[in-house]
Homo-oligomer: A and B are copies of this chain.
Amino acid sequence: MGAVAPSPRPFVMTHPNGKEAAFPSDANALALKLERFFPLDRIDRLALDDLTRASEWVAPRKAILSEGDASETIVPLLAGLAYRHKDFRDGRRQILSLLVPGDICGVDGRPSGPIHYGVRALTRCLIAKAPPERFRMLLEDHPAIAGALRQASLVEEAVLRTWIVNLGQRHAHERLAHLVCELAHRMKDCRRLLSHGGFELPLTQQELGAALGLTSVHVNRVLQRLRAENLIAFQNGTMRIFDADRLRSVADFDPTYLSA
């Protein structure tokens, strides 16, 4: 993590331990994501830096947003991993999406009612909190950012639809394979791929199950099966991919929905 003296990116300095240093948190993750959809100029990027200047760290496993919170504030995730989830009274839980740097935790739009899900940090997370007026002004003054955010939101919808397909139609091992493929792609896009092509994913098997609509017991068995087939290994919160081609074919994975 370089000391970036004159740079307008305050969160570079907020860097307690060396863990995150493996990832390029010295680039504004939001800008990085938006540029995949639409080229931003220097002014746009400065505006984004400005918006995300007031940022804070959240400890692993802590709630970033809770069900029922107002959805006024826009909360981009600048570093770390998090997930959206919906909990039942009887203990059932569904993970709705996994959030990587550049994703937006809260509602990315107009004022709306309370949110119907919670957002929880998976690792230590750096988040910004942008008041809605600030955000609206940003959109008005920077059409490129507005356009890119719209694209990003279309992709997010596509991801939701893909999860529906996954949950509705695929068997457990296909489901897990598909999730791994999706995450590998998204991790690459936000530069969180490890050298061996895998990525950090500090989920318990129970949480993996909550994402896949499976029990932790079954997740365990499916993981063992995929490991035995030399496709992936999941240990110590790290997902390794041994045979990406075959994994893709098991998952019937088509990455186009992540970029179009």
Taking beta carbons and an 8 Å cutoff, which residues of A are in contact with B? Answer: 84, 86, 88, 92-94, 96, 107, 109-110, 112-114, 116-117, 147, 150-151, 153-154, 156-158, 160-165, 167-169, 210, 212-213, 252, 256-257, 259-260
In the complex, the chain B residue whose C-beta lies closest to that of A211 is B168
Output the least CB separation between A112 and chain B (Å): 6
Q: Are B164 and A116 in contact (CB under 8 A)?
A: no
Q: Which residues of B contact A117 (CB under 8 A)?
A: 161
Can you tell how many copies of this chain the complex includes? 2
Q: Are A116 and B154 in contact (CB under 8 A)?
A: no
In the complex, the chain B residue whose C-beta lies closest to that of A165 is B94
In the complex, the chain B residue whose C-beta lies closest to that of A110 is B150
Q: Are B160 and A86 in contact (CB under 8 A)?
A: no
Q: Which residues of B contact A256 (CB under 8 A)?
A: 113-114, 116
What is the bound-complex CA distance between A165 and B160, given in angstroms?
Answer: 11
Q: Which residues of B contact A165 (CB under 8 A)?
A: 86, 94, 96
Contact of A169 among B88, B114, B154 (CB under 8 A): B88
Output the least CB separation between A106 and chain B (Å): 11
Q: Are B147 and A110 in contact (CB under 8 A)?
A: yes
Q: Are B86 and A161 in contact (CB under 8 A)?
A: yes
Output the least CB separation between A75 and chain B (Å): 15
In the complex, the chain B residue whose C-beta lies closest to that of A108 is B154
Q: Which residues of B contact A161 (CB under 8 A)?
A: 84, 86, 96, 116-117, 160
